[in-house]
Amino acid sequence: MKYFIKKIYLILFFITALLYNTESFSKNVKFKYSQGDISNYFSGIVSINQNYTTTGFKYLNKVRFLKNSHYNFNVQFIRTLILLEKFEKAFAFSKNIWKEDELFFEADLLLGLDYFIKENYLKAEKHFERLNNISQSNLFFKDFLGNILISWVKASENNINDSFEFLDKIPDHYDSLKQIQNAFLHCHFDTSKTEVAFEKLIDNPKTRFSRYNFFLANYFISKNQNIAGKILISKSRDAYNSNLLIKQAENFVLNGKNNNITNFFDCKNPNDVIAEIFYVIANLYSTQENYQLSNFYLKISLFLNNKFTPNKTLLAENFYNQKKYELSKRIYNLLESIGPVYGWYGVINRAIILSETESKRQAALSLEKEFNLLSNPNFEHYYELANFYKDNEYYKKSIKYYSLALESINQDHPLLPKILDRRGTSYERLGEWNKAEKDLLKSLEILPDQPHVLNYLAYSWVEKENNIEKALEMLEKATKLRKNDGYIIDSLGWANYANKNYVDAEKFLQRAVELMPIDPIINDHYADVLWMLNKNIQARYFWKYVLSLDEAEQELKDNISKKLIYGIIKKL
């Protein structure tokens, strides 16, 4: 019933929005909408919001007459055309609805890009200039995207001074993104500052843009400085062992396929650089879980530079997060054509999708079959296979492959403490605590400042009522390393509880609840300490709250049901 009422409210909201926007943006309101028009519009918007883009397009296409009166329709229709890769239709539609006296971010963006591609730089600049203004669908890019694009218009006209001048107009709060464009402009004009500009970007401890090691290596190789490119890739490979692009670049270099690196990207080609701008924006939206808008910018990026196939991994990830598993799987299949690193990454992720859509067992069998086809597996293959087994609760198998990884990895490799940590937690899940403790301590011996390893080991000691003082010391350190981590603060509170320091325990557990208000265990811990402080009414309130949480496991609910009747019988 609640769902039905909510649905009715949504329908009324969209109908109201339809009528309101018509009155707001139409100079001559004469339209009378039929029930079918409203239904098609509503169905189109709902379908798009639910990530059924093709279906949404079919509905919206039936009410295209709304383009003359309805701003939100035009936004959704343009975005849908881009998501479906109907670029020529998107350009034509944008031209058809564009008006000099109305700001329309999407239309100006696409028309500017269309003119830019056709080398009509005067008209491109006109549209890009309008992007600097705030509008209904451009709330965040004031003086940012427009100036970057105009900068590349000037670069395309070989006007080096103006290109840097427009880059300087970008507000300072976009400093990191300005640094990226600054490096690419120096690369484009092949100035003596190119290498320094990239190094400044890469070495910035606040951003740690590991990706741009690839672009600097690309620059070296494009200038036949192959040794410099190889050294940089090898160095960055050690520092950023999880970066797929760098791992694949190393594979290319080791196999004499330097051309594969330069084929992806050319800083002399403004289209390639502008594509990177949109890739960065797509990444930002993806981290905010706005996958639809991320895909919008990513499709533009891939349209401008379809050679950079590694960027499709973001599209596959977005589709996965949107539960568009078939589309995601289709892209992971294509990644094999890039090289073995991306191929294996695709294999792992297809198995993850299979575990979601079929069964964990079927996924595990499929992945092991693919693993057995590898001619020369290395420690990373073992590690990634072990991670899959661990994440799917096949702890014995995960231990087997973590152990193989540890046998073949160099003892000074930065991944070593992580493998020990993950094998240790697998041992703990199987109840083999002595082995788990040994691995976790070894991991911390190699790399002491690992907040989550400190937390896992210390919390385990607290639960086993061992080494409480040492656990407190470790958790205080972990909290300093990760000041706002709810799990770590909860552990610190729980360690104080175990040490009968209930006043401090309450302080930390209250903070943990504030940070993670719907976590069942944290709320249960907080209720326990409230009870020990004789705040029984408040304790019962939080226990009852835990019982209402879907995330709470049945065993926890059973224990809480007893506490609601008897309170805490055993006092630590």
Cα torsion through 279, 283, 286, 288, rounded to 10: -130
How far is CA 180 from each of CA 133, 183, 186, 463, rounded to the nearest angstrom? 22, 5, 10, 48
User: Could you tell me the pLDDT band of residue 242, with boundaries at 50, 70 and 90?
Assistant: confident
- Given a cut of 80, whether residue 381 has pLDDT beyond it is yes
Burial of 465 (0-12, 13-18, 19+ CB in 10 A): exposed
Report H helices in 240-339: 244-254, 258-264, 270-287, 291-304, 312-321, 325-334
Q: Report, as an integer, the average pLDDT of 112-123.
A: 97
Q: In angstroms, how far is CA 48 from the centroid of its own chain?
A: 21
Coil vs helix vs strand at 504: helix
The model's pLDDT over 254-266, given as tens digits with 9 standing for 90+, comes to: 999 999 999 999 9
Q: Report, as an integer, the average pLDDT of 369-396.
A: 95
pTM of this structure: 0.84
Which residues, including other chains, have CB under 8 Å from residue 492's CB and lie 6 or more apart?
Answer: 472, 475, 476, 478, 479, 508
Cα torsion through 383, 387, 390, 395, rounded to 10: -10
Q: Say which DSSP state 482 is in.
A: S
The model's pLDDT over 65-100, given as tens digits with 9 standing for 90+, comes to: 666 666 787 888 899 999 999 999 999 999 999 999
Q: How many CB atoms lie within 10 A of CB 298?
A: 26
Tokens 């949107």 belong to residue = 322
C-alpha 526/C-alpha 516 separation (Å) is 12
Type of residue at 113:
L
Looking at residue 75, what is its pLDDT?
Answer: 86
- Given a cut of 70, whether residue 552 has pLDDT beyond it is yes
Cβ–Cβ < 8 Å for 388, 423: no
Q: What helix, strand, coil percent values describe the chain, rounded to 5?
A: 75, 0, 25
Looking at residue 298, what is its pLDDT?
Answer: 98
Identify the H or E element spanning 396: helix 395-408
Percentage, residues of the chain above pLDDT 90: 76
The model's pLDDT over 450-460, given as tens digits with 9 standing for 90+, comes to: 999 999 999 99
Identify the H or E element spanning 434: helix 433-446
Tokens for 101? 């006296």
Identify the H or E element spanning 385: helix 379-391
- Given a cut of 50, whether residue 3 has pLDDT beyond it is no
Looking at residue 444, what is its pLDDT?
Answer: 97
Q: Report, as an integer, the average pLDDT of 109-123.
A: 97
Looking at residue 14, what is its pLDDT?
Answer: 43
Query: Of 33-37, 354-358, 493-497, which gets the smallest average pLDDT?
Result: 33-37
Looking at residue 67, what is its pLDDT?
Answer: 63
- Given a cut of 80, whether residue 206 has pLDDT beyond it is no
The model's pLDDT over 405-437, given as tens digits with 9 standing for 90+, comes to: 999 999 989 899 999 999 999 999 999 999 999
Q: Report, as an integer, the average pLDDT of 364-393.
A: 94
Tokens for 427? 């041992």
Query: Under CATH, to which class is 476-572 assigned?
Result: mainly alpha
- Nearest Cα to Cα of residue 498 among 543, 465, 455, 542: 465
Type of residue at 324:
K
Q: How many CB atoms lie within 10 A of CB 21?
A: 18
Cβ–Cβ < 8 Å for 418, 384: no
C-alpha 133/C-alpha 29 separation (Å) is 27
Q: Report, as an integer, the average pLDDT of 442-450.
A: 96
The rounded mean pLDDT for the chain is 89
Query: Under CATH, to which class is 85-306 assigned?
Result: mainly alpha
Coil vs helix vs strand at 475: helix
C-alpha 11/C-alpha 19 separation (Å) is 12
DSSP 136-192: TTBSS-TTTHHHHHHHHHHHHTT-HHHHHHHHHTS-GGGHHHHHHHHHHHHHHHT-T
Type of residue at 506:
E
- Given a cut of 60, whether residue 543 has pLDDT beyond it is yes
Type of residue at 148:
I
Looking at residue 73, what is its pLDDT?
Answer: 79
- Given a cut of 70, whether residue 32 has pLDDT beyond it is no
Instruction: Delimit the CATH 1.25.40.10 region(s) of the chain.
Output: 476-572
Q: What is the CA radius of gyration of the chain?
A: 28
C-alpha 329/C-alpha 355 separation (Å) is 12
Coil vs helix vs strand at 135: strand
Looking at residue 331, what is its pLDDT?
Answer: 96
Looking at residue 29, what is its pLDDT?
Answer: 41
Tokens 């360690």 belong to residue = 495
